Amino acid sequence: MKPDLDLHLILGGARSGKSRHAEALARQAEAAGSSIVYVATAWAGDEEMQARIAEHRARRPASWIQLELPDADFALAHALRAQAAENRCVLVDCLTLWLAQHLCPPPGVRTRDAQAEVDALLEALPALSGRVIFVSNEIGLGVMPVGAETRRTIDALGRLHQQLAQRAHRVTLMVAGLPLELKPSRGSCP
């Protein structure tokens, strides 16, 4: 990892406050002089997902650069390489949808090698600088699901979380809107 990269992984369940917490951190970074790039990973597949995307869009300040990942190979790794920079905060929301979309693509989206996408993401990290905040659902805390496809997604996401947590300077678990610091900061950023 480059010494000027501040990597923060924010995990939590559905409606735990993880996106709001990440957005608050991005607002703090913006107040301190950083530009903000919001990388949205969700592909709108149905009306309910379209409504969720619209809700998230409405919360983002107009001053933020907003990128919605295209249906393209290694789009997240490419976006990070292009956008992560000194005096910039890149917020990626969320890795759960990003990975699930590769494992179980929505209608009209071609299947990709999810592991190759994860590998490309992890390979991109050492070259990044600035601040990068990843948001992801911690979905492995419940009972083991019956369906093989769901188990495969939980397993892949759990492996990704472990790999990112190992590389991250900070890891936060959100519960009921409260941040629980699992891995402390190196002290350089708010």
Q: List the catalytic residues.
A: 56
d(CA 17, CA 21): 6
Number of other CB atoms surrounding residue 149 within 10 Å = 11
| Token pair recorded at residue 22 | 């990440």
- Cβ neighbours of residue 94 closer than 8 Å, sequence gap 6 or more: 18, 19, 41, 42, 134, 135, 136, 137
Tally the C-alpha atoms within 13 A of residue 131's C-alpha that lie toward its C-beta: 28
Closest of 100, 93, 85 to residue 53, by C-alpha: 93
CA distance 92 to 8: 10
